[in-house]
Chains A and B, each alone.
Chain A
Amino acid sequence: MKNWFQSKSFRALLSSLLSILIGLLIGALLILLIGLTDQEIGLKGAWDGIRLVFLGVFSNGRNEAGLLTFGFNPVSMGNMFFRAMPLILTGLSVALAFKTGLFNIGAPGQYLAGTCATLFIALSIPTETVAPWLVWILAFLGGLLAGALWGSIPGLLKALLNINEVIACIMTNWIAANVVTWLFDISNLKNIAEGTKSGYIYKTTYNNVATPKLGLDKLFAGSQINGGILIAILLAIGAYIIINKTTFGYELKACGANRHAARYAGIQDRRNIVLSMTIAGAMAGAAGSLYYLSGNTEFFWSTYQSLPAVGFNGIAVALLAMNNPIGVIFSGCFMSLLNISGQQLTYLTAFNEYITDVIIAVIVYLSAFSLIIQLWLGNRGKKSVPRTEKAKAADADASTPVVPGKEE
Chain B
Amino acid sequence: MSFLIRQTLIYAVPLMIVALAGIFAERSGIINLALEGIMIFGAFIGVAFVRILQGVMVPSPADPENMIGLFDLAYQSKNWLSLQGYMLLTMLISAALGSIFSLLLAFAAINLRADQTIGGTALNMLAPALVLFFVRLIAKQNTLQLLSGDSAKWFMIKKTTLGFDKKADIGFLGETFLNKVYLSTYICILIFVILSIILYRTRFGLRLRACGENPQAAASLGIDVVKMRYAGVMISGALSGMGGFVYALTTANCSANGDVAGFGFLALAVMIFGNWKPLNVAGGALLFGLFKCIAAAYSTLDINGDGIYALANIGVSAHLYRLLPYLITLIVLALTSKNSRAPKAEGIPYDKGSR
Contacts and interface: CB of A to CB of B under 8 A. Distances in A.
A361 B105 CA distance: 13
A168 interface: yes
B333 A168 contact: yes
Interface in A146-177: 157, 161-164, 166-168, 170-172, 174-175
28 contacts: A30-B133, A164-B272, A167-B268, A167-B333, A171-B330, A171-B333, A174-B323, A175-B327, A178-B326, A182-B319, A305-B259, A351-B133, A352-B133, A354-B130, A357-B132, A361-B125, A361-B126, A361-B129, A361-B130, A362-B122, A364-B118, A365-B122, A367-B122, A368-B122, A369-B113, A369-B119, A403-B118, A405-B118
Nearest to B33: A166
Interface in B245-294: 259, 261-262, 265, 268-269, 272
A182 B122 contact: no
Interface in B185-227: none
A408 interface: yes
B269 A171 contact: yes
A175 B326 contact: yes
Interface in B92-142: 104, 108, 112-115, 117-119, 121-123, 125-126, 128-130, 132-133, 136-137
A371 B119 CA distance: 13
B299 interface: no
A103 B11 CA distance: 29
A408 to B, nearest CB: 7
B176 interface: no
Contacts of B82: none
Given A170-B269, A171-B269, A369-B112, A362 B133 contact: no
Interface of A: 30, 34, 38, 103, 105, 157, 161-164, 166-168, 170-172, 174-175, 178-179, 181-182, 185, 304-306, 312, 315-316, 319, 350-352, 354-355, 357-358, 360-362, 364-365, 367-369, 371-372, 403-406, 408
Nearest to A175: B326
B160 interface: no
Contact of A368 (B119, B327, B337): B119
Contacts, number: 141
Contacts of B125: 312, 316, 357, 360-361, 364
B42 interface: no
B322 interface: yes
B323 A179 contact: yes
Decide if the interface of chain B is mainly helix, strand, loop or mixed. Answer: helix
Q: Quick one: which of B33, B104, B118, B269 has the most chain A CB within 10 A?
A: B118
Interface string B312-338: 000001011011001101100110011
Q: Quick one: which of A105, A166, A315, A368 has the most chain B CB within 10 A?
A: A368
A306 B322 CA distance: 13
Nearest to A31: B133
Contacts of B115: 368-369, 403-406
B347 interface: yes
Contacts of A406: 115, 117, 347-348
A318 to B, nearest CB: 10
Contacts of A174: 262, 323, 326
Given A178-B326, A319-B118, A369-B113, A163 B136 contact: no
A314 B348 CA distance: 25
A364 B320 CA distance: 35
Nearest to A161: B337
B209 to A, nearest CB: 20
B333 A367 contact: no
Contacts of B122: 361-362, 364-365, 367-368
B199 to A, nearest CB: 22
Contacts of B320: 182
A320 to B, nearest CB: 11
